[in-house]
Structure 1
Amino acid sequence: MWPITQKRGNSGSAGQLLPGTIARAVKPDGSLAGYDEPGELYIKTPSVALGYANNAEATKETFIDGWVKTGDEVKIDKNGELWILDRLKEIMKVKGFQVAPAELEGCILDHEDVSSACVVGIPDDYSGEIPMAFVVLNADAAQRARGSHAAAQKIKSSIIQHVAKNKVNYKHLAGGVEFVSVIPTSPSGKLLRRVLREEAKLLKEHKAKL
């Protein structure tokens, strides 16, 4: 949070740690990050939970020697302000349930019109997050979608219905489907969800203005 003695301004950081909270940024090799270096946020405070109920494996992975691995990539500057850079854990939280994007992507890829797909979570006031799919169509479907708006909407509805038929309610594509020409990936082939999450936010803001 921000101290009452300081105006927030336009710095863009998430603020400073509350009293009683200790944090550190840990790099992928396990060493501590320095000022302004990115790393995963670990926190230690008396107010955190003791672990996950009935899930020893998840507890072991997240709660380590009194520290909690948040799954957030951050940097901490010399003013003690914390900057959120990205989300390392790809699991979405929909209505309190964990939803793995890869599970939905596998389902979408079974649709006859789909060539590739990437699912991201977008913020939602009621559910916390809702799944949204970015889809690359195969050549035949892409041609049909370019032919008319109605055809494109029919394909989108078909993909949404396909997921609805095969997955439990909270895993449905409540965020909709957007067609893209290519799914952005890193040189190693990893899906760049961060890029598409930003795109999803822009699309949501645009629709809200209409």
Structure 2
Amino acid sequence: MDRYGVSRHPSSLWIQFECEYVVPNDGFVLAVCGSIPELGNWNASAALIADQHTKDSGKWVAGIHLPTNSTFAWKWVVLQRPNFTPCRWEEIPDRVAELGEHNGTFLAPWNTEMAFDVIPFARPRGNDSLWTNDDAKQLQTLLNLLSQQTNCETSNPEEPEVQPKHQPVSILGRGILDIVFWLPRCVGRMAVSAFEFIKQKLVGLWQGLHN
């Protein structure tokens, strides 16, 4: 998947479903059941089980690879353990999802109209990985920039700031660049200010001892 949420796998997308629903106790879970095999073919016992973010939070999320450019109907259903027996379905008409070529999240509160939000950097499953060789190279570039900028700030505090050349980076790199360019300036200036303050105090103490 690229930085714009377009799937790297032409035949499948990473799709998430999110909902807020408070279940009576730990014996109940929320699930996504729909008209395609991946969602159980309307068989609740084969539905996609959602995970609760934290216990008793009422915030549920389920994720799965689904076919690109597919259309399917689905609903939230409350299942009771241990046999995952359906005890409540959404009371609204079947939700209809039309997928294109973008990974994304269906924000679908219980019994409420849903919205689709493109995921620019989703968490895949299987053999996919969030960390690539390109990311490793970009991180090394950022670390080099950090070292150069810190040396520049601490050794030549009066020289005009020189902006490092921006390198093409992914979402990971771009998200760190602001910190990389901002943090060294602050640390460098703080170090220079502290050094000047200590130097002035030492000079004053030395003069006082020799007067």
Bigger Rg over Cα: 2
Q: Normalization by structure 1: what TM-score?
A: 0.21
The higher relative CO (CA closer than 8 Å, separation ≥ 6) is in 2
